[in-house]
Amino acid sequence: MLKEPFQKAEPIMKQLEAHGYESYLVGGAVRDYLVNRQIGDIDIATNATPQEVQQVFSKTVPVGIEHGTVLVLHNGESFEVTTYRTESDYQDYRHPSEVSFVKDINLDLSRRDFTINAIAMNRHGEILDPFEGKKDLERQLIRTVRSPQERFEEDPLRMLRGVRFISQLNFDMDLDTTDAIKELHHLLNKISVERITDEMMKLFTQPYINAALKVIDDSGMYGSLPIFNENNKLFFELKKIDFNQPLNHPGVMFALFYLLDYEVSLQKWIKTYKVSNQIKRQAIHIVECYNLYKHQGLSDWVLYKSGKQMKDLYQIICLLDSPLPSIEELEKRYLMLPIKSRSDIVISGQDLLQWFDHVKKGKWIGNFLTEIERLIVIGELRNDRHEIESRVREWKVQEKS
Ligand code: ATP
Ligand code: MG
């Protein structure tokens, strides 16, 4: 019987076996289980073809059938079931040009990137480990399955994945593997930027960023990462930072990259790395708040403006400047603010129009609201209808503004 985290996968494996097929747990979940880390997605490998997998289970989704992957839905959970396969000819450095399904699990394990990711476990908890991945887990070593040169030439992204696993596990990079990275990191230029971005975002949201950056430095890999390869100063500045915790999310990473050197615009980072709109918005907001903080310190206005991203601003300041009071203290101050957003103001643009009924609608309304908002947040005006009205009536409308 399988141990706790894998128990929910057991019915799937049993059912495959009842139909005469093999099934193994593979990849990151087995690795993380063996080093007592919380496991992520459970991946199951089988010698059944994708069509056969679809016949065995009643609820399936063909998520990546050309690569052999079928999603099996069971008890409200989903499991990726992938047919044993080998890959060949990475001509375009993007996807293998040919995926062949095979009948031997050992062949499937041999196409995997690192020994620690090439361990399989059957339903009885027995381990299949042809590349000594368990030994590398004990030695805490990232080592490629077979020749690092060949494996990196096949798919150069593996070099970046290797340092991402260092950031995740705090392992060392095997010497031959490091040497191959020194020699071949330039091949990263051939990889689609989406894949690079994905691994970079994973790297920076893991706990051992310093260790990963050291390998990127020692191997010279920074010379092949977008934008870092055009500006030597950037990686030098990045290396100076002591990352003592994972970044909160990728938005913080791009904000930080930009703040390392204002000469490269945030827009350029976003475009080059093809960042999603959500991450882009988060990064822009963090940068705006940080610039405001640079002018006025951690004022109530800055806390108010950072709002939901206060923790992100806090993280950036801790990384780039001196340590701050605890985040709890800032959160307490935030809770004491008289309003949390503009919609908390007791008056609206409509009220302004009534009070100034001789003036046309225009930009002045927004300007007035911003000023009212600021005065309330910094404690110079109470969020009270009458007080706001009498204060505002003293102001002059600049029609053109
Ligand atoms: P995580 O826990 O971070 O998801 P993971 O090991 O599961 O780590 P994935 O990117 O989800 O990493 O990949 C799942 C498995 O597929 C890996 O463990 C590895 O065996 C294999 N794999 C993924 N990408 C590659 C690649 N580019 N080359 C070879 N094998 C790969
Ligand atoms: Mg995974």
47-91 pLDDT, tens digit each: 999 999 999 999 999 999 889 999 999 999 999 999 999 986 555
Question: What is the CA 147 to chain-centroid distance, rounded?
Answer: 29
Other CB atoms within 10 Å distance of the CB of residue 329 = 11
Other CB atoms within 10 Å distance of the CB of residue 312 = 23
Percentage of residues in the chain having pLDDT higher than 90: 92
Going by alpha carbons, the residue nearest to atom 7 of ligand 1 is 28
Confirm if 9 and 31 have CB atoms less than 8 A apart: no
**Tokens 């001509």, residue located:** 91
Q: What is the pTM of this model?
A: 0.92
28 CA distance to ligand 1 middle (Å): 6
Q: Which of 20, 29, 27, 28 is nearest to 2 (CA)?
A: 29
pLDDT of residue 1: 72
Residue 300's φ and ψ, nearest 5 degrees, are -60, -35
Residues near 173 by Cβ (< 8 Å), separated by ≥ 6?
A: 141, 142, 162, 163, 166, 181, 215, 219
Q: How far is CA 223 from CA 188, 213, 233, in A?
A: 10, 13, 11
Confirm if 185 and 220 have CB atoms less than 8 A apart: yes
Confirm if 110 and 118 have CB atoms less than 8 A apart: yes
The answer to whether the CB of 112 is under 6 A from ligand 1 is yes
The answer to whether the CB of 158 is under 6 A from ligand 1 is yes
Sign of the torsion angle spanned by Cα atoms 375, 381, 382, 383: negative
227-276 confidence digits (pLDDT tens)? 999 998 999 999 999 999 999 999 999 999 999 999 999 999 999 999 99
Strand partners, 114: 144
User: Given a cut of 90, is residue 318 above it in pLDDT?
Assistant: yes
Residues 168, 166: Cα–Cα separation, whole Å:
5
The answer to whether the CB of 155 is under 6 A from ligand 1 is yes
Same topology between domain 1-133 and domain 343-400: no
Task: Please choose from 113, 147, 157, 164 the residue to mutate so as to test ligand 1's pocket, defined by most ligand atoms within 8 A of CB.
Answer: 113
Q: What is the DSSP letter of 38?
A: P
The answer to whether the CB of 169 is under 6 A from ligand 1 is no
Question: Helices (DSSP H) in 42-147: which residue ranges?
Answer: 50-56, 105-110, 133-139
The answer to whether the CB of 22 is under 6 A from ligand 1 is no
Homologous superfamily (CATH) for 1-133? Beta Polymerase, domain 2 (3.30.460.10)
39 CA distance to ligand 2 middle (Å): 9
Strand partners, 83: 46
Going by alpha carbons, the residue nearest to atom 6 of ligand 1 is 28
29 CA distance to ligand 1 middle (Å): 10
The bound ligand whose nearest atom lies closest to the alpha carbon of 159 is: 1
140-238: CATH topology: Hydrophobic Seed Protein (1.10.110)
Q: Is it true that domain 343-400 has CATH number 1.20.1740.10?
A: no
156-196 confidence digits (pLDDT tens)? 999 999 999 999 999 999 999 999 999 999 999 999 999 99
The answer to whether the CB of 113 is under 6 A from ligand 1 is yes
The bound ligand whose nearest atom lies closest to the alpha carbon of 32 is: 1
- Domain boundary assignment for the chain: 1-133, 140-238, 247-337, 343-400
Question: What is the CA 166 to chain-centroid distance, rounded?
Answer: 15
Residues near 18 by Cβ (< 8 Å), separated by ≥ 6?
A: none
User: Given a cut of 50, is residue 401 above it in pLDDT?
Assistant: no
26 CA distance to ligand 1 middle (Å): 10
Residues 74, 8: Cα–Cα separation, whole Å:
9
Average pLDDT over the chain reads: 95
pLDDT of residue 323: 76
User: Given a cut of 60, is residue 400 above it in pLDDT?
Assistant: no
